[in-house]
Amino acid sequence: MKYLTVLLLISCLSSCQEKTSNSINKCEFLNLKAQQYLNRNLSSSPNPKLDSAIYYSELAYLCDSTDIDILETKLSAYFYKKDYKKTLETVNKLSSLKKSDSANEIYAFFKVGYFMILDEKKYQDSIVDYYNYVSRKFEKHRNEKNFRSKYPVYFDPKVLLEYYFNGKESALEILNQYPSEYKFDELDDLIRLTNTPPKKMILNYLYIEDTIQ
């Protein structure tokens, strides 16, 4: 009887593991299918390949709504579709998973960009709140050694939003106080070498340029 019980237990465990493995493989397979469609030429609109990418990314999400890779695929699919409401929802989901503090800070700045694309005036209070938040973080850490390279998630948004709210000279003043450790610095180039309007500057920095219709 004991032998039969052990056999049943082993059989049950094996079956459970197989189901789990199949479930994981199914989720990964669906995500891979979505990525394959995303890797194709998506420039034309409407694009059935992009619709297929969204379809498979949603199936993968239904399969596992907490997988970071699946969520990032879904984010890319809706971004290319220019469905910024869905994109923002996905960013919020990624942020809620709290992968890391640094990732959350990056997602928070991405939200600013999507707020601007969706409706800059409607979300102005949220943009101001975020500016106040990074300003507080900036003041808290500004005297630490290697502040700029140590806290880019506060420094870069602070400079760009300073440009957005208070003008280019105000942003340049911060950059001059904290010279970059690198000979070529994207943020320095964006602020110093262009006359791009601040909203466009932020979207460029977040790689969301040329998306406003």
Q: What are 92-104's pLDDT values in tens digits?
A: 999 888 667 778 8
Q: CB under 8 Å to 14, separation ≥6 — which residues?
A: none
| Residues of the chain above pLDDT 70, percent | 83
pLDDT of 190 above 90: no
Instruction: Kindly state the tokens that stand for 161.
Output: 């939003």
**Who wins on pLDDT, 168 or 186?**
168
Contacts by 148-154 with C-beta closer than 8 Å and gap 24+? 148/178, 148/180, 148/181, 149/181, 153/102, 153/105, 153/106, 153/109, 154/105
Domains, the chain, with CATH or none = 23-99 (1.25.40), 101-213 (no CATH)
Q: What is the pLDDT of residues 27-40, one digit of tens each?
A: 999 999 999 998 87
**Who wins on pLDDT, 9 or 67?**
67
Mean pLDDT for the chain?
A: 84
N- to C-terminal Cα distance for the chain?
Answer: 72
Question: Average pLDDT of 44-62?
Answer: 87
What is d(CA 30, CA 53) in angstroms, rounded to the nearest whole number? 10
What is d(CA 95, CA 72) in angstroms, rounded to the nearest whole number? 11
